Every structure is written in C-alpha cells, then in structure tokens.
Amino acid sequence: MLRQYELVEKVRAYDPDADEDLLNRAYVFSLQAHGSQKRASGDPYFSHPIEVAGILTDLKLDDETIATAILHDTVEDTVATPEKIRDLFGENVARLVDGVTKLSKIEAQTDSERAAENLRKFLIAMSGDIRVLLVKLADRLHNMRTLHHIKNPEKRKRIARETMDIYAPLAERIGMYQFMDEMKEIAFRELEPEAFQSITQRLGDLRAKGGGEVDKIAEDIRTTLGSHGVDAEVAGREKRPFSIYKKMQERHIAFEQLSDVIAFRALVDRPDDCYRALGILHQKWAAMPARFKDFISTPKRNGYRSLHTTVLYEGRLRVEVQIRTHSMHEEAEHGLAAHWAYKDRGDDGRAGREEYPWITDLLEILDHAATPEEVLEQTRLAMYQHTVFCFTPKGELIQLPRGATPVDFAFAVHTDVGKTTVGAKVNGRPVPLRTELKNGDQVEILRSEFQEPDPAWENFVATAKARAAIRRHRRMLGRAESIRLGHQIYEEAAARLNVEVSQKAFDEALKRLGVDSEETLFEQLGEHEISADRLIDALAPGLFAMRRRSKAKRGNRGKISIKGLTPGVSVHLSSCCHPIPGERIVGLRRKVGGIDVHTLDCGELASETDRDWLDLSWGEETDRGIATLAMVLENSSGALATVTAILARSDANIINMRVRDRDSSFGTFVVDVEVDDLQHLTHIIAALRTSDAVTSVEREKR
C-alpha cells in the first residue's frame, strides 16, 4: 500500500502544480473514516481506496480525481456524509464522490432491478463528468484483483459476471484496453475455470516448444523496416486466454487450429510512418486477404487508432501485426485517460455527452426501457460493438455493429429518421431493410411522414438504439389499444349505474382505485388490471354489497332481533335517535314494562339517570332501520330527481321527505329512508356526496 508521502510524490512527479494539501487531507480523512474496517483478505479496508488512487496515478490523472479515489467509499461505508465531503474538499470532489459511490442501499424487488437502477444512476453521473467512470473502473479493477479473497463462490461469480457484462465493455468503449483485458481475464478465470486452465496450459506448452521464434520474428520485422528507413520498436506478445477462448467459440475451432495466438506490434514515430511500414511489410510478405483494417483513417468510436494486418511469414506462418505511433499506443492502452487534460476542460473538469455520444445513446435506452431486464439487455447490446463503417450520401461516417441493417443506420442518423423509414438504397441500389451492411457501404434512407416503426423490424435490427425505439413504439400501440378498450368498458359500466356520472364522482373513484389519471384508468381497464365490478364499486361504493344484503333481508320484514334481552320483552326503537342495525345501542327499562333502545351517542341519555341501563347488541335477523338525512341541494332543474335516483339505486326506500328551507340558490331537504344497517347508510351518504347536485349531506338526530 502506498504511504501518504509516496502517493503525493507520485502525483507531483507528473503534475508539479497539484494541490498537495488536498491529497494529504483526503488521505488522513479516509484513514480515520475507515478506521478498523477490514477487507475479505484481512487487510485494512483503507488499503483499497489507496490502491485505487495508485492505479489512477499510473494514468497521470489530476489531483481532484486522485482525491476522489481516496474518498470514494467513505460515504457508503463510513459515517461520512456528502455534506461533510463538500465542506472539506469542495464541490467538484463531492460531486465526483457522489457519482462513484456504489449504490448498494437502493432497495429493489429483484437483483435485475437493483443492477438496472445502479447502472442508470451511474451512467447519468458519468455523463456529467467522465472522471466518474475512470475512478469507477479503477475501483472495479482492484476489486477484481482481490476477488480470490471472497470465500462465497456464488458472490465471486456474480461479481465476475457483472464485470464481464458491464465494466469491461465500458472500459472498451473509452479505449482503456489494458483495464478491459485484465478485468476480462480475471472474470474468465472465475466463470470458466476449466477453460482458463486448459488454454493457459496450452499457451505454456506453445511457449516452451517455440523457443526463441517469437523474438526471431520480431527482430526480422524490425530489421526489415529499418532497412527501408523506418525506425520501429517491435515486440511480440501472446493473446490473452479470454481472447483466445472467444475466437475458438466464434470460429468453432480447436486451440491447435488458431494461427494468430501471437501478435506483433510495431511502434513508429509519425502517422505517415505507419503507412510506410505497412507497405514495406506487404512487399516482403504476402498479405492475407480480408485481414487488413485501417483504424487510423477511420478510428473506432472510442478513439482507438492503429493499422492491423496479417501476413504469411516465410510462406508458412500467419503473423498478425499492429502498426501505430507511440502516442496511438498510449491511447490504445489507456484510452481516454491517456489524453485527459483536466485544465483544458474548464474549471469543473466536466466532459460528457457532446464528446461521448454513445453515453447519450445509453441514457436514451435507460429512459425508455420498460423493465429492468430490458435495461440490462439493451445496455449490454449497446456496449458490445464489433464495428462496420458506412457512409451517408453526403459522406458522413456512421459506425454500426456487425450485422447492422439499413434500419439500424437510419436510427443511428436520428431517431426521427428511423421512425419514418420506408426503404433504403445501398450503393445506389434498392435493398430489403433486413440487408446486412458491409464496410464502406453508402446508405440512403427513403422516408415517408406517414410511416411508423414496424414491430417486425425488431427481428433483424442489431443496435440497441433501434431495438429500444421499436419496442417503445410497439408498447405505445398496445397502450393506445388498451385505452380504447378500457374506455368502452367504462361506458358499459357507467350504463349499468343508470345515471350520468359526475366529474366529482369520477375523481373520487380515481382516488379509491389508486390511479392518477383518466388515461391510466382506461389503460388498466383495457389490460384487465381493474375489473368492471371494481370500477362500479368505486363510482358507487357498496352498491353490490347493498343489493345482496337487501335481497337477504326481504324475508325479515317487521322482525327485531336484539341480544341481551329477556325473551318476550317488548322493544321500542327510540324516535329521538332512530337506532339502526350496526350501531352501538343501549336499553333503558320503562317503568310500565318494556325497553326503549337508544344509540350510545343519543343526546337524550344524559337526562336518563334514574332508569336502569341494559347493554344490548343487534341480532342477525333484524328488519331494516330508519335514518334521517339532511341534504343541501342546488336549486336547479333535476337536482331532486338525481337524488331520488341515487337513493333508488342504493336500495334505500324513501319513507318521508320534507323541505326545511329554500332560497334562490339552495334548498335543504330532510328525508327519512329505510336502510339495512349502518354500513348501508354510510354507502348511501357516500353515493350522494359524489353527485354534483348535492352540496352536503349529513345524518340527522334530535
């Protein structure tokens, strides 16, 4: 582990103007914050952020990025807060730390949802400042280097798979091939231990058998170039086990059939030397057809530049040679980090979507994916890119993954172009939209403003952006159909109520159903997530239950069943409070015999101190009770008819109705209605309150 002064000296060695005080404060703060915490290896936890910072000093990154690396786990794993980081280290470092902080506290229902939400928030932070990604990749690289200390094999495999699917492709997208290769190799060793062991063993055998042939070929290439005036550093290296395994899988061949296990690299001084070296090698040894790639004139999307060729060495051995300048090589190894110049990017070090448009593509996918699983699927698809280069009719270069079609090309140009595609011409000739594009194709997209994305396109497109747009349109079509069907179901349900539903009743129904808009309600009705009966119950609460109870009680006319009385005792329901089944009741014994039944909250009970009280309750076979309602209605035509219709629908029999007072705007009506029980009465009052004709309604007692 780097000591404090060693870390500071490493930074000052490549940046004499670095803020030494910032680095010292970050070192001490992180050391104190992590305290006695231990890693799975038994090492102090503090060693991890320091090793991450050390990795980034090898890339010569600025002092704020190094401080961020030292602090990146303090908010998640210690009592440190974002506000504390901001106060001590400034806004930039606090923002970077927040972007890098692992999001383990996010709660989700499934691992996929958690992973998708992690990725979403991380990419959004990364789009604001690409240094977030550099620190995160260094963090993941060190975690992979210490992966073997984790005892749980399932956890090791999960981390390895996440690295292979997310972090290694992200490293590739910004050209950090050294990080990518090491992460993939460690992940491969964990996920496919037998294949890793087999390939490693065979590489060792090949190395022992080949003796000094690699050095001989490298020297031969260097001498050949030098004799023609091109100074070059030439070295041969074995391809990594995972790269070999991937080629074996793609080509369906055995290890012994691979002819390019060893690759050679020639480093020259100037770009024009690259092309001179290429010509010299092709003059000396025959070039293998279709094995030449020029990534200098058309760099990869991540900025990678190099010439790749394969020649037949001495007529017997296929040799792959990569030719690039020293600066190109530095960028090829460390990508974005190799040419990161903090002071050239403004005061806050931001670099984002304009310079790295693939980040915008990923964010668009994140915004429109329907499920967490789709987020992960489309993101992985977007990051694994084996590129072909095509051109618009105006000569603009469009990079696409292998297997891309004119539809992918159209969406790569612009989403609106993709949506309105009706046909395509490749190199001037009309072709089917499912045609696979090749390097150098010129593609012209034919459009119509009346065209919409065809769901069948999803069967052959190769880019995540096109697939996400097609799926989004398909979901919109399905949603529109669900809304149309739901509206029809609603109309049929409202007709069963036999009354026009007021806006107030509709809004109350939305609240009861827990939906936020009319459109959402219709969609859920169309998707059968809400049934028609549930809708009716929300519009007129308790309607079905009331009808069932009413049918059951039709045979109980005139019956009163009260528990707590001596059989045969006469019972009188008090007219002062009109007790109804379901209410708490009490009995007062009459002097001449019999029992008066009152509600427990009846105002008359306060004066009845000299009579015996009996604790009573309702029996199951009791006839309907009578409740008095006081309603304030708008003085408008049809208001009273609306109220009587609601009462009839609610199965509430009107016994008496009278006008208490009335003016030009409102009238107060008192109505006595037969009800089954207290719950029935509650539903009746709720139904009346949903009508625009009713200003207020309350139960009335004397």
Which of 8-12, 261-265, 355-359, 373-377 has maximum average pLDDT?
Answer: 8-12
What mean pLDDT is predicted for residues 606-619? Answer: 79
pLDDT at 165: 78
pLDDT (mean) for 448-467: 87
Contact 48, 56 (CB under 8 A): no
625-699 maps to which CATH number? 3.30.70.260
Among 104-113, 226-235, 493-502, top mean pLDDT goes to: 226-235
Domain ranges across the chain: 4-190, 196-339, 474-534, 560-618, 625-699
The structure's pTM equals 0.54
Return the higher-pLDDT residue of 692 and 160.
160
CATH T-level topology, domain 196-339: Beta Polymerase; domain 2 (3.30.460)
pLDDT of residue 361: 57
Of 43-57, 375-389, 470-484, 677-691, the range with the highest mean pLDDT is 43-57
pLDDT reading at 30 higher than 80: yes
Upper half-sphere CA count for residue 448 (Cβ side, 13 Å) = 7
Instruction: Work out the pLDDT band at 353, boundaries 50, 70, 90.
Output: very low
Compute the distance between CA of residue 140 and CA of residue 184 in angstroms, rounded to an integer.
Answer: 11
Task: With a cut of 60, say whether residue 131 has pLDDT above it.
Answer: yes
SS3 700: coil
* CA atoms within 13 Å, Cβ hemisphere of 277: 29
pLDDT given at position 335? 67
177-191 and 153-162 helices, crossing angle to 10° = 150
Q: Name the region of 613 (left: φ>0; alpha: ψ -120 to 50; beta: rest).
A: beta
pLDDT of residue 219: 93
Residue 387: predicted pLDDT: 64
For residue 108, pLDDT over 70 is answered with no
Read off the pLDDT of residues 650-671 as tens digits, 9 standing for 90 and up.
778 888 888 888 877 888 988 9
Alpha helices in 313-414 (DSSP H): 326-334, 357-368, 372-383, 406-413
Q: What φ, ψ does residue 263 adopt, rounded to 5°?
A: -120, 145
- For residue 282, what are the contacts with CB-CB under 8 A and spacing of at least 6? 309, 311
Confidence of residue 411 (pLDDT cuts 50, 70, 90): very high
For domain 4-190, the CATH class is mainly alpha
Q: What is the pLDDT of residues 180-229, one digit of tens each?
A: 999 999 999 999 999 999 988 888 877 777 667 888 899 999 999 999 99
Flag whether pLDDT at 457 surpasses 80.
yes
Q: Where do we find the tokens 């009107």? A: 654
Q: Which active-site residues does the annotation give?
A: 76-77
Query: Residue 568's pLDDT is what?
Result: 65
User: Which two tokens mark 27?
Assistant: 């070192």
CA max distance for the chain:
135
Domains 4-190 and 625-699 share a fold: no
Closest of 653, 659, 662 to residue 680, by C-alpha:
653
In the prediction, which pLDDT does 345 show?
Answer: 40
Proportion of the chain above pLDDT 90, given as a percent: 25
Assign residue 189 a region: left if phi > 0, alpha if psi is -120 to 50, beta otherwise? alpha
pLDDT at 555 over 70: no
H-type alpha helices, 2-152: 4-14, 20-34, 47-58, 63-71, 74-77, 82-100, 111-128, 131-145
Q: Is the pLDDT of residue 426 over 70?
A: yes
Kindly report, residue by residue over 303-319, the tens digit of the pLDDT: 788 999 999 888 778 88
Q: Does residue 362 surpass a pLDDT of 60?
A: no
**Over 50: is that where the pLDDT of 567 sits?**
yes
Residue ranges with strand state E in 239-306:
262-268, 286-287, 293-294
Confidence of residue 676 (pLDDT cuts 50, 70, 90): confident
Average pLDDT, the chain: 80
Q: At what angle do helices 111-128 and 82-100 cross, to 10 degrees?
A: 100
Give the C-alpha separation, 195 to 118, whole Å: 31
Q: Tell whether the model's pLDDT for residue 35 goes beyond 80.
A: yes
State residue 333 phi and psi, 5-degree precision.
-80, -45
216 vs 565: CA distance, rounded Å:
114
Percent of residues, the chain, with pLDDT higher than 70: 83
Vertex 411: Cα angle to 409 and 412 (nearest 5) = 60
pLDDT tier at 109, thresholds 50, 70, 90: very low
Looking at residue 120, its pLDDT comes to 58
Quote the CA–CA distance of 301 and 303 in Å, as a whole number: 5
Q: Which amino acid is at 52?
A: V
